[in-house]
Structure 1
Amino acid sequence: MHALAAGMPHVTVVHGSGDNPVYQVGGKSFVFFRNPRPDAVDPVTGERFPDVIVFWVESDADKQALIQDASTPFFTTAHFNGHPSVLLRACRIGDLTYAELAEVVQDAWLSRASARRAAAWLAAR
């Protein structure tokens, strides 16, 4: 995951709270790692999830497609209602193929990159 995010063009990595990496393009975050928060908890134990990754998405339709598809490990919480992002527990990355994870990272980058950078990256592909 880290290599995919860092491998996108014009990416910088800053460190947020808890020294968690925040991947940015043009000063805009597109993937970041959260500290355990009260809105993302194990429904059985009530323990806060220690490994939540946030990925930006282009639109609410994209978000809904990911979180409503029961075959994906993506989810959201009430804290992220109205926010263009989806959540994924790091322990569930293995539920995705490399190609699926790459697509999510690339789409997150595209949703935050400038139109010029996004067009250049897409044209090069």
Structure 2
Amino acid sequence: MGRPATPDDVDRICGELPDTEFGTSWGDLPTWKVPRGGKGKMFLLYRMPHRTAVDPATGEMYDDLVVILTPTAAEKQALVDDPATPFFTIDHFRSYDAVLVQQSRLGELDVEELREIITDAWAKRAPKRLVREHLGDTGSPR
């Protein structure tokens, strides 16, 4: 395993991707979007504590969740089902292609794994031309 991922890596990776912008969505949720400007679409957001996301062990609301889009429902399920990753989902996101991860558990991934997952999220929302320019013809960082 390479260097363990940290919460700082999330913003660094998002900021290094082409034409990204940090702003807000759904009111005031801190959100990474692509492309910059009025047409930007969310690919990663920081979720505030909410009654729909509760730690089953403590009953407390999670206070450090990151929501990362996945390219497909199958990829979401693969990440959630893999016991080697810290990703999970909740009923609130049942029909939404995204995974959740606690910032406190990012160290269970290495930086390259996190970069791959965030880049996939970016590629789902970025204009196709931009994806081709950044990733080549495949449209996937893998």
> Per the shorter chain, which TM-score range?
over 0.9
Which residue pairs with 1:24 in the alignment? 33
Which residue pairs with 1:7 in the alignment? 16
Tell me how far 1:102 sits from its aligned partner: 0.6
Deviations 1:9-42 (A, max 9, x none): 0001103579552000021000100000112111
For residues 63-82 of structure 1, the aligned pairs below 5 Å read 63-82=76-95
The TM-score normalised by the length of structure 2 is 0.82
The TM-score normalised by the length of structure 1 is 0.93
Unaligned runs of 5+ in 1: none
Number of aligned positions between the proteins: 125
Off by >4 Å, runs of 4+ in structure 1: 16-20
Q: Given that residues 17 and 35 in structure 1 are in contact (C-alpha distance below 8 angstroms), is that contact kept between their aligned partners in structure 2?
A: no
Structure (1 or 2) with the greater helix fraction: 1
Rounded to whole Å, the distance in 1 between the matches of 2:30 and 2:83 is 28
The one-letter code of the counterpart of 1:46 is G
Greater Cα offset, 113-122 or 47-56: 113-122
Deviations 1:74-109 (A, max 9, x none): 000000011010100000010000110111111110
Q: Given that residues 57 and 86 in structure 1 are in contact (C-alpha distance below 8 angstroms), is that contact kept between their aligned partners in structure 2?
A: yes
Rounded to whole Å, the distance in 2 between the matches of 1:66 and 1:53 is 14
**Root-mean-square deviation (Å):** 1.8
Tell me how far 1:44 sits from its aligned partner: 2.2
For residues 1-125 of structure 1, the aligned pairs below 5 Å read 1-16=10-25, 20-26=29-35, 27-123=40-136
